Chain A
Amino acid sequence: MEARRRLVLAVACAMVLVGPLLLGGYPLRVAITIMLYMVLALGLNIIPGFCGLLDLGFVGFYGIGAYTAGLLILKLGFSFWLVLPLAALNGAIWGILLGAPTLRLTGDYFAIVTFGFSEIVVLVITNWVSLTRGPMGLPGIAPPSLFGHTFNGETPYYYTIFGLVVLTVILCRRLADSRLGRAFFAIREDEVAAAHCGIPIIQTKVIAFAISASLGAVGGAFFAAWFTFISPNMFKFWESVFILCMIVLGGMGSIPGTMLGATILILLQETLRPFGVLRYVIFGVLLVLMMRFRPAGLLAVERVRGEMRPLEHERPSQARRPKPGEDQEVPS
């Protein structure tokens, strides 16, 4: 079984590696977009997929990464290869800054705070005109170069993002199998039980958030170097929803599922391009239908499938409510 999986993986990698020799300009661009979104979706997946928290502000970190990279390359002439880890670091810093005070919140409240954060990121990059040129965006970001060769055409970007996808997948897999990853899953299954097993809840969640944020920022840095132009309206809320759709479609918490989701949605977006805004109508319907009929996604992780099963018992929020006649809880 293991040997067969390795063979399949090797064949897939070989196919991806020879891709640029067979594909022309446009399909190659689509392939790069798919892989970029795989990195982003895998990064986001750590929060809702591994830890069970809904993060609606992921695009904030994507934007922070893109602007970190764009500004460092444009204003200070840094090399892309130096900028990539710096962007990841900056993403992680903001992830910690946002996560530390807010990660004790759960559910809807956390979702709303992350959403507010990403909106503020967009407002800041729109209005800090002296640094970011505001709505005019940052044009002319120098393409990366490697061993004296400046990137030209799509092929070098293709291999770069492929490398990033491979690194991200390895990172996510190792993470899922690590002590830390187990802690994430424990928090997702039952936070109270996890805390009683000695898992430092807040600290673990902040680490998850930092990793997720830095992956988002890496995606952003690659995007800035690849597209050579960034502007605030590329980092709007719906981008977060789009990435969330990928995870939901593929299967929350599942690494191959998330990658499948990214592939399907980017291909859909490209093929439905002639339909204009109607494709977003389709995405909306897709989200609703997925939640209705297959809430755990196409490649469902067993655990998530169990979790998404309808609850038999009452919601905890109601169970905890003090009954009339009982002593009222004193708010702590």
Chain B
Amino acid sequence: MFPQQLINGLTLGSVYALVAVGYTMVYGIIQLINFAHGEIYMIGAYLAFTAIAVLHLPFPAALLLSMASCALLGVAIDFVAYRPLRKAPRLAALITAIGMSLFLQNIAQAIWGANTRPFPFEAIPKFFYASAFSLVQVGGATVATVGEIPTEVAARPDLTIVLQISWLQVVILTVSLLLMVGLHLIVHRTRIGTAMRACAQDQMMASLVGINVNRVIGFTFALGSALGAAAGVLVGVYYNAIFPTMGYRVGVVAFAAAVLGGIGNVVGAILGGLILGLAEALGAAYISSEYRYAIAYAIMILVIVFKPSGLMGSPAAERT
């Protein structure tokens, strides 16, 4: 069971990491907990759903379309709601973010209904649900197979499945990994990425050397929202269920992941996401499945109280 929980935890964790990166980047630049980020994740899932169900797009196209639309949505939210409050106290911006989240969640409910919806089955590539790799024990021997478990093995009565990875899990892990590598390249190898890091260090100085700070902030929102949308789509397919409040809990866990990793630190957020994903999967298996969601909250509270700078953050003095 343990290896299986490990893989499930990593899959979940990579999704949390994608969302957490959005929180941490925005916080790093404008010190705002973007409460609406979880809703972006939810809307991303719904947009992909609509693209597949209404426009009959293939899955990868729907994923890209949803990411692009959410990037625009993120920029629009920043422009309409947060930008006018740049110089306002942080409490005002935080309340605005909560208002935005309330707005988006209920707009989604008004558009797509409150019920849980599955993705249209025929639109999801069939191989997603097939086994990609498995490790089984038969009569004392351990057999590893790439692809489906052979029928003659599967029929054995003494078969125990140690580990089974579906192609969907492989896809989620691969897509997350690619997106994070892409993010790393953008942040560290491009002009706009350099500008982002400059703004995170000191906005005043950044603007003095000619960086258009508002554009950089907009770009940060776009980047974070696109990653959040991708996470929403992947989770929507993974659980095959999307609903208007799905962004709420993931948003909180992802924020917890960002805090755990040290808010403002992208690598920390990814690490935090993976840790919380693992903690949730292992906690549900070995501690209590009812309280699986409480684990993330508890970790978050403990980190904030005892080590507010997180695992990889800068000294706590800045934020207390």
List residues of chain A with CB under 8 Å of any chain B CB: 48, 52, 54, 56, 101-102, 104-109, 111-113, 115-117, 119-120, 123-124, 126-127, 237-238, 241, 244, 248, 276-278, 280-281, 283-288, 291-292, 295, 307-308, 310-311, 314-315, 317-318, 320-321, 329, 331-332
B202 within 8 A of A: yes
Q: What would 8 A/B residue contacts be, using CB atoms closer than 8 Å?
A: A248-B95, A284-B100, A284-B103, A288-B99, A292-B84, A310-B88, A317-B31, A318-B204
Residues of B with C-beta under 8 A to A277: 106, 109-110, 114
Known: A54-B91, A107-B90, A244-B95. A112 touches B309 (CB 8 A): no
Does more than half of chain A's interface fall in helix, strand or loop, or is it mixed? Answer: helix
Are A311 and B81 neighbours in the complex by a CB distance under 8 Å? no
Q: Which of B33, B104, B301, B315 contacts A108 (CB 8 A)?
A: B33
A310–B112 alpha-carbon span in the complex (Å):
38
Contact mask B228-262 → A, CB, 8 Å, 1/0? 00000000000000000000100010011001000
Residues of B with C-beta under 8 A to A237: 248
* Most chain A beta-carbon neighbours within 10 Å: one of B33, B88, B98, B106: B98
Q: In chain B between 291 and 320, which residues have their CB closer than 8 angstroms to a CB of chain A?
A: 291, 293-294, 297-298, 300-301, 304-305, 308-309, 315-320
Extra pairs beyond A108-B90, A281-B102, A329-B317 (8, CB < 8 Å): A111-B94, A115-B252, A244-B95, A277-B109, A288-B81, A311-B89, A317-B31, A321-B318
Residues of A with C-beta under 8 A to B110: 276-278, 281
Known: A105-B308, A119-B297. A288 touches B89 (CB 8 A): no
A106–B90 alpha-carbon span in the complex (Å):
11
Q: In chain B between 259 and 296, which residues have their CB closer than 8 angstroms to a CB of chain A?
A: 259, 290-291, 293-294
Are B98 and A287 neighbours in the complex by a CB distance under 8 Å? yes
Q: Which of A52, A108, A120, A331 contacts B294 (CB 8 A)?
A: A120
B203 within 8 A of A: yes
Residues of B with C-beta under 8 A to A311: 87-89
Are A123 and B293 neighbours in the complex by a CB distance under 8 Å? yes
Q: Which of B91, B255, B297, B316 contacts A331 (CB 8 A)?
A: B316
Q: Which of A287, A295, A317 contacts B319 (CB 8 A)?
A: A317
Are A287 and B316 neighbours in the complex by a CB distance under 8 Å? no
Q: Which of B33, B91, B248, B305 contacts A102 (CB 8 A)?
A: B305
Are A287 and B95 neighbours in the complex by a CB distance under 8 Å? yes
Residues of B with C-beta under 8 A to A108: 31, 33, 90, 94, 319
Are A281 and B106 neighbours in the complex by a CB distance under 8 Å? yes
A113–B33 alpha-carbon span in the complex (Å):
13
Residues of A with C-beta under 8 A to B101: 284
Q: Nearest chain-B residue to A248 (Cβ)?
A: B95
Residues of A with C-beta under 8 A to B320: 104-106, 109
Q: Nearest Cβ in chain B — how far from A267, in angstroms?
A: 19
Are A281 and B103 neighbours in the complex by a CB distance under 8 Å? yes
Residues of A with C-beta under 8 A to B90: 107-108, 315
Q: Nearest chain-A residue to B36 (Cβ)?
A: A284
Residues of A with C-beta under 8 A to B297: 116, 119-120, 123
Q: Nearest chain-A residue to B259 (Cβ)?
A: A112
Are B96 and A283 neighbours in the complex by a CB distance under 8 Å? no
